[in-house]
A = this chain, B = another copy of it.
Amino acid sequence: MNAGIIIIGDEILIGQVVDINSSWISREMNKIGFRTETVITVGDDGKSISDAIDRCLEVADVVFMTGGLGPTKDDITKKVICEKFGTELVLNEAVLANVAEMLGRRGIALTENNRGQALVPATATVVNNAVGTAPGIMMEISNISHSVPFVSTSSTGGINSLPETLPERSRRASRRVELVGRNKLLFSMPGVPFEMRYLMEHEIIPLIKKHYNLKPVFHKTLLLTGIAESILAEKISDWEDSLAENVKLAYLPAYSSIRLRLSVYQPDDTTESYINAKVEELKRIVPENIIAYEDIKLEELVGKLLKDKHFTVATAESCTGGKVASLITSVSGSSEYYKGSVVSYCNEVKADVLGVSRADLEKYGAVSSTVAEQMASGVRRLLKTDYAVATTGIAGPTGGSDEKPVGTVWIAVATPTKVVSRKYVFGKDRAINIERFAASALSMLIVEMEKEC
């Protein structure tokens, strides 16, 4: 089954906001067996939204729209839906009560704009939003001909024409209970990510699951580090050619790692053992590089390794400015093994708090093996942990020299038995360097932990 996603908002098209909704929806739908065919981003413009709906209905069974449902005047999604599916906006008392309650809890009085949020297309099914004021909306579309969808509940009203009679409210209530099997579904949700997620998790996914019954896609993801994408591709080329035709291989390079994903879209009983056998073959080809046999982030793997052994870790960060700490603590439950970080963005803090030798800072400079190792040892001692990782480098765009260009970083890992350090040289982009430095710190910590265990 296919999904289509429409992201609505001038703020996205102008580049002021990055769309994170489509990747989340795709990931979650994939788990229940839907493949996203396309994501179309359009502005707050009726014609563009309408065209995008047509395009998605051509290729997808379920269409998700996010954005354009807020209380402000640039939000027009509901009006487009009405015009397109020949219906009109009616006030929904349940939604209005929800809006009033949501606002009341935050001590905010109901405004005329908020009342507008309680208007929903007459033929739509309301998807309750318990975490925000804009309701979700579901339209059921039974018949697509020449890419022009018709509304199932209105035998007379086609697209772009008003229905002769508006469906009664009672019909809406009964449709909520029982959906006709294979009709296409169109969902309109708020663009605020956590509201969208709430609606999907609590209302929409359960609803879709109930009405379609597909096998999930089989995915096997491996995490590799310490190898360039092109070298890997060359090394495993024969193995790749040997994969059965229904197996799709994707390379997903990240900042300090590559994920290899094997996908089977029509899995059967033999799929899992077949894939496991192919993974065993792969292990023999690149034995040094595979650090995990699951779709796991570096920061999650750090946590898993530490938790398994009841070890703790601390970080000392200069150039990464809290990024390593932030990644580690993005994982729920990280307080079990993570004690904290000293972000030493100036030499004074390196010396005063972490105990790095002032003489060494002078002699070798802050970006050096010696300083990185003293930072790692220093924070391990200060925060009393088993492991520690430290970064010191030049993220850029300024601060580089011929000897130590922008993109240079020294990373040190302190373990219960030793301290090791390594230099990496990356590029010129500050934001990317910070990501790469932080990912490399996690990779290096993982490799050292796996060596000792």
Contact = CB atoms under 8 A, between A and B. Distances in A.
A429 interface: yes
A11 B250 contact: yes
A434 B330 contact: yes
Contact of A16 (B192, B261, B343, B346): B261
Given A19-B19, A42-B38, A230 B108 contact: yes
Interface in A59-83: 70-74
Interface in A321-359: 321-326, 328-330, 332-335, 338-346, 348-349, 352-353
A177 interface: no
A237 B430 CA distance: 41
Given A16-B261, A22-B41, A429-B194, A325 B333 contact: no
B28 A15 contact: yes
Contact of A39 (B16, B40, B252, B429): B40
A285 interface: no
Nearest to A217: B14
Chain A interface extent, by class: 35 or more
Interface in A209-253: 228-231, 233-234, 237, 240, 248-253
Interface stretch (A111-119, A142-150, A164-172): A111-119
B42 A332 contact: no
Contacts of A15: 22-28, 30, 36
A70 B229 contact: yes
A214 to B, nearest CB: 16
A230 B342 contact: no
A427 interface: yes
Majority DSSP secondary structure for residues of A touching B: mixed
Given A251-B74, A343-B322, A23 B30 contact: no
A330 B16 CA distance: 17
A103 interface: yes
Contact of A339 (B16, B329, B348): B348
Contact of A40 (B24, B40, B133): B40
Given A382-B353, A383-B349, A430 B27 contact: no
Interface in A421-448: 427, 429-432, 434
A183 interface: no
Contacts of A339: 345-346, 348-349
A11 to B, nearest CB: 5
A344 B333 contact: no
A273 interface: no
Contacts of A22: 15, 19, 41
A307 interface: no
Contacts of A432: 193-194
Nearest to A318: B340
A281 interface: no
Interface string A100-137: 00010010100111100000000000000001010000
A389 B226 CA distance: 38
Given A38-B42, A106-B228, A326-B326, 18 more contacts: A16-B252, A17-B23, A17-B252, A18-B19, A39-B41, A72-B233, A74-B248, A103-B230, A111-B234, A133-B230, A323-B326, A325-B326, A325-B345, A332-B397, A340-B344, A340-B349, A342-B353, A353-B382
12 contacts: A10-B248, A12-B26, A14-B26, A15-B28, A39-B39, A73-B240, A114-B230, A194-B432, A322-B326, A322-B328, A332-B396, A339-B346
